[in-house]
Structure 1
Amino acid sequence: MAARSTAPEKRPGFFSQIRSLYTFTHEAYRWLPFLLAGILLAGIAAGVGIGFLVPPVAVWSVILWGVTGLMAGVLGSLMTMTRLSTLAMYRKLDGMPGAAGHIMSTALGRHWQGSDMPVGINPKTQEAVYRAIGRGGVVIVGEGSRGRLTRLINDERSKAQRVASGVPVTVLYVGHGDDDVPISKLAPTIKALPKKIDRTTMAAVIKRVDSVSQSLASLPIPKGIDPSRVRAPRPR
């Protein structure tokens, strides 16, 4: 029997991540190469222009400023591509079952605790309810039709209010209606909630809420998203 390898998995290098980031973003924005080329050329032109304006004007000075402009263009291109890749990720997530859970488990930061597993679910229609707890209190997020989410939302809100008396409970619905929150604005909306509780209270609320949460192991959980296919790779 062959010995099991204990060598750590090799992580992709910087240029490999840049290539993956470019490929992912280019699939959503076919004009990406022209934009990046324009940013690079603008950076070089700005650097050369400064080289001619800053005395003493010399060839070496113009070249150095041109290189500086090139580096600024590269940085601007990476920042632009990262931003566009995030928008592309949200475009792919929009409307997918489990999108809200993915955002709540990966994009809320250290002041919030969320999970990609729903705390309530309608196995027939795939409407789901997710929960996050943080300095802003308890946030309940509904994913699906509001009408079919009413009972699930009310059950989860009652449970949170029962075990965390005095802690604010905010209900959000993911969607594109008048009072809905688009998936791209879900994390910023939650993080923008005013801080109402301290860290100690937050930890106590998490413990109490988790202690009364019903197990979903016996419920058929709808297949959610595959984050490895949707999340935009980021250069390190």
Structure 2
Amino acid sequence: MAKSRNPAQTKAAKAEAKAARKAASKQRRSQLWQAFQIQRKEDKRLLPYMVGAFVVIVAASVALGIVAGGFTTYLLIPLGVILGALVAFIIFGRRAQKSVYKKAEGQTGAAAWALDNLRGKWRVTPGVAATGHFDAVHRVIGRPGVLLVGEGAASRVKPLLAQEKKRTARLVGDVPIYDIMVGNGEGEVPLAKLERHLNKLPANITVKQIDSLESRLVALGSKIGPAAMPKGPMPGNAKMRGVQRTVRRK
């Protein structure tokens, strides 16, 4: 009996997994299409750029195929179509990302949101220090060392950065500490360029040292706790009095 049930159960499990993958793929395509429609309405240059890139690449492939002649012609044309579609998709992705960062820029919690979406081996602790106005300092641990990222009014954030740097230096020893201010002022890093800026920093420590640093800095804790920080960018005109009171109590 067991032998007769196992193949059936295995077949049913495979069918269920296949259906789940199919549903997930359909959902991703639907989300991508919705994102494209939204971006297309907001960005009037998106479609011309995508179509233009596709046409230019396909035309170049056809021209090369005609010059090369023979069987190469039949290879270059489909290759050009695939490459053109890929470049068009890349253009869409980059312009959509730029649009998202543009909307988030200047909003409370935008830097914390950007840090949470970093790609790579970064350990992010949002809101290790903050004011009642949601000026905040976030801690990031990575190959460069310890990075303290501030967002908000520079006049309020810079003292917070200096204070947090002193607290952190007591525990990290010779590990480099970088203080970064997010904004559009002199010496500040724009939100859209934050990830690129972090990735350009030199690798000063190993992955094992990152784990060790994270364990040590957990003891340092946070002055407000991540629960008091917004989960993402908040509109500048949002009613924040209740949340500010929560931060002050922390």
Match in the other structure for 1:109: 120
Alpha-carbon contact 1:39-1:77 (below 8 Å) kept:
yes
- 2: distance between equivalents of 1:218 and 1:21? 29
Q: CA deviation at 1:206?
A: 0.9
Match in the other structure for 1:233: none
- 2: distance between equivalents of 1:218 and 1:140? 15
State the AA in 1 paired with 2:177: V
For the aligned residues, what is the CA RMSD? 2.7
Q: Secondary structure at the match of 2:155?
A: helix
* From 53, 72, 87, the counterpart of 2:98: 87
Q: How many residues align?
A: 214
Q: Secondary structure at the match of 1:154?
A: helix
Please identify the structure whose Cα radius of gyration is greater.
2
Label 1:46 to 1:156 Cα distance change in 2 as closer, same or farther (>3 A). Answer: same
Q: CA deviation at 1:152?
A: 1.8
Tell me which moved more, 61-70 or 145-154.
Answer: 61-70
State the AA in 2 paired with 1:82: G
Matched, 1:159 2:172: no
Q: CA deviation at 1:87?
A: 1.3
* From 36, 40, 43, the counterpart of 1:29: 43
Query: What's the TM-score, normalizing by structure 2?
Result: 0.75
Alpha-carbon contact 2:49-2:91 (below 8 Å) kept:
no
Alpha-carbon contact 1:141-1:171 (below 8 Å) kept:
yes
- 1: distance between equivalents of 2:184 and 2:111? 13
Tell me which moved more, 27-36 or 94-103.
Answer: 27-36
Q: Deviations 1:179-231 (Å, cap 9, x if unpaired)?
A: 000011111211221122222222111111111213635985456427xxxxx
Alpha-carbon contact 2:109-2:229 (below 8 Å) kept:
no
Match in the other structure for 2:56: 42
Identity %: 26
Structure 2 stretches lacking a partner, 5+ long = 1-18, 235-250
* From 86, 108, 113, the counterpart of 1:97: 108
State the AA in 1 paired with 2:47: P
* From 147, 155, 165, the counterpart of 1:147: 155
Larger RCO (CA under 8 A, 6+ residues apart): 1
Structure 1 stretches lacking a partner, 5+ long = 1-6, 227-236
Q: Deviations 1:63-96 (Å, cap 9, x if unpaired)?
A: 6643332222111111111121221121122111
